[in-house]
Amino acid sequence: MSTTEHTWTETNGHDNDNEVDSSVRLRQEAERVWSYTPFNETSKVDLTLARVRNFLVTPTKKGKWPSDKELTNFLQICKTRRLNPWVRDAFLLGYDTKQGAKFETIVAYQALSKRAEVNEQYDGLECGMILTTQEGKTMEVEGSFCLKDEELVGAWARVYRKDRSKPTTAKISRVPYDKGFGRWEVDPHGMLVKCAKSAAMREAFPSDLGGLYTEDEISEDSLEGSDSSRTMDDQPHEETEAATDTAGDDFADQLVEEIDHAPDQTEVNAIRDLTLDQCDSDDQRAFVNNLCDIRVKQIKATRGERSNENQEQEQEAT
């Protein structure tokens, strides 16, 4: 009997040790600072799980947020690909599926194009649309202009490399891409051509661009159920780069740290007012307002998620 008790106590002790080690590892990972120099830039960026969660994530329509594992995967992609999310190179997009919440790393078109253009083998690009006429004739034209009696059915793009005798060509159909809202409703021709260019550049430079997809390329089925009210335009704008250059990294890091720990909208607005009084330029003020607005949205979304969870618990109880 004593042997059995001793064995159980020893095993339980190991389990407790493992739990403590796991807790320590999780805390260390949460506090880890990912520091690297983005592509074609000179200043380093510092990212943490908390900063990504608070400023660079689009939650699902149901208010679900990514796990630490998904956040870490996003950080790893940004660091490996040298993406700067503060200037809208990338963000994490969430959407609801039958299997639960899912999150995808979304990159900006500019992040693809600037990598292709600085490649020493890049030798230009051509692009255009695939149209059908009322007579049923299909034709490929350059650019994104067409007549009223011509229907847009697809787009194409060709990327030339100096070390290849033939260009890399991508042709895509309109159906999987056109979401029917936002910019797609206003300018489907230009949007589809941009998707074709992204596909061609990714195929032409797989080592630099492989696995990087823009928001425009995510299919309508994938976006179904996502929070379309917050997209790439809600992330810190390009003015962020100018603001941090003007104010210095210490200004940006201190502000992000303070907003990270703001528990409610009142505290965020207090930080906003105090910081705006210290700003010396419009770029700095835009930077402050962007970060504060995103934090407020995150707080509201978190409250909505908690409300949904409470409602689900009440329904289960009844």
Do residue 213 and residue 194 come from a single domain? Answer: no
Do residue 173 and residue 197 come from a single domain? Answer: yes
pLDDT at 242: 40
Place of tokens 């900063």: 51
Place of tokens 């080690």: 21
- Write down the H helix ranges in the chain: 2-31, 49-55, 68-81, 109-118, 183-186, 188-204, 206-209, 220-223, 239-247, 249-260, 265-276, 282-317
Three-state DSSP class for residue 303: helix
Do residue 227 and residue 241 come from a single domain? Answer: no
Do residue 179 and residue 218 come from a single domain? Answer: no
Distance, CA of 144 to CA of 189 (rounded, Å): 5
Half-sphere exposure of 295 (CA within 13 A, CB side): 26
Q: 146 near 152, Cβ under 8 Å?
A: yes
Distance, CA of 199 to CA of 179 (rounded, Å): 18
Half-sphere exposure of 234 (CA within 13 A, CB side): 21
CA diameter of the chain: 92
pLDDT at 109: 93
Residue 114 lies in a domain: yes
Do residue 312 and residue 244 come from a single domain? Answer: yes
Do residue 89 and residue 195 come from a single domain? Answer: no
> The pTM is what?
0.64
Q: 243 near 281, Cβ under 8 Å?
A: yes
Residue 18 lies in a domain: no
pLDDT at 305: 55
State the DSSP string of 79-107: HHHT--GGGTSEEEEEEEETTEEEEEEEE
pLDDT at 150: 94
Do residue 180 and residue 223 come from a single domain? Answer: no
Residue 86 lies in a domain: yes
Residue 69 lies in a domain: yes
Tokens coding 305: 């998620």
Do residue 198 and residue 126 come from a single domain? Answer: yes
Residue 3 lies in a domain: no
What's the structural domain count of the chain?
A: 3
Residue 9 lies in a domain: no
**Crossing angle (nearest 10°) for helices 68-81 and 2-31:** 40
Residue 15 lies in a domain: no
Q: 67 near 75, Cβ under 8 Å?
A: no
Tokens coding 140: 């490929």
Tens of pLDDT along the chain (318 residues)? 444 444 444 445 555 555 556 666 656 666 789 999 999 889 899 999 988 988 889 888 888 999 999 999 999 999 999 999 988 899 999 988 888 898 999 999 999 999 999 999 999 999 999 999 999 899 999 999 988 899 999 999 999 999 999 999 999 999 999 988 888 999 999 999 999 999 999 999 999 998 899 988 876 454 444 443 334 444 444 334 444 444 445 566 667 777 777 778 888 888 888 888 777 777 677 778 877 887 787 777 666 655 555 555 565 665
**Residue 67 CA, distance from chain mean position:** 15
Do residue 141 and residue 257 come from a single domain? Answer: no
The whole domain housing 247 covers 236-318
Place of tokens 């596909």: 199
Strands 151-161, 138-142: pairing kind: unpaired
Q: 111 near 83, Cβ under 8 Å?
A: yes
Q: 130 near 156, Cβ under 8 Å?
A: yes
Strands 213-214, 100-107: pairing kind: parallel
231: Cβ contacts below 8 Å, ≥ 6 apart: 58, 93, 182, 215
Output the CA torsion 297→301→303→309 (10° steps): 180
Residue 19 lies in a domain: no
